[in-house]
Amino acid sequence: MPRYLIRLPDPAHARGNEPSLSFTANGAGAFAEELQAALATPALFERWRALQPEPDEVDPALGATDPSATVSGAQQDLHVDLVADTRIPGEILKQRLRLLAGRHWELRDVRF
C-alpha cells in the first residue's frame, strides 16, 4: 500500500478556498483525522460534488474511497507532518488535499 508523506508548512494557513470543504483542524492529530475521513469516506467528495454546476456529470471515479486508509500526524517545530497509508490513487489524494488545504501543503515523498 502506498505511503504518502505530506507536510503542512504553516498549519494555520492550511485551508482550502471553500470553507465548507476546508480543514478546520488545529493540531497534528486533528489534521490527520480530517484527512483520514476524506480518504476513507465519501463525505468530502459528496460535499464538493454538490457544489459543482452539474453534480450528476461529475466522474464517479473521483469519489473513490479507501475504508482502510490511515493517517497519522506529528507536530514538528512550526509545521505538521502527515503520513497517509492508502490505496487511493495519487491524483485523487492530491485533489482532496487541495480541497482541504488549498496550496498550503507539500507532498514530500511516496513510498511503495
- Cα separation values, 72 from 24, 83, 112, Å: 17, 5, 17
Mean pLDDT by 10 residues, the chain (112 residues): 97 97 97 98 98 97 98 96 97 98 98 94
The pTM for the full model equals: 0.97
Domain tally, the chain: 1
The number of beta carbons lying within 10 Å of the beta carbon of residue 58 is 16
Its domain, for residue 82, covers 3-111
Q: Which residues contact 67 (CB under 8 A, 6 or more apart)?
A: 40, 41
Using an 8 Å Cβ cutoff, are 80 and 35 in contact? no
Predicted pLDDT at 106: 98
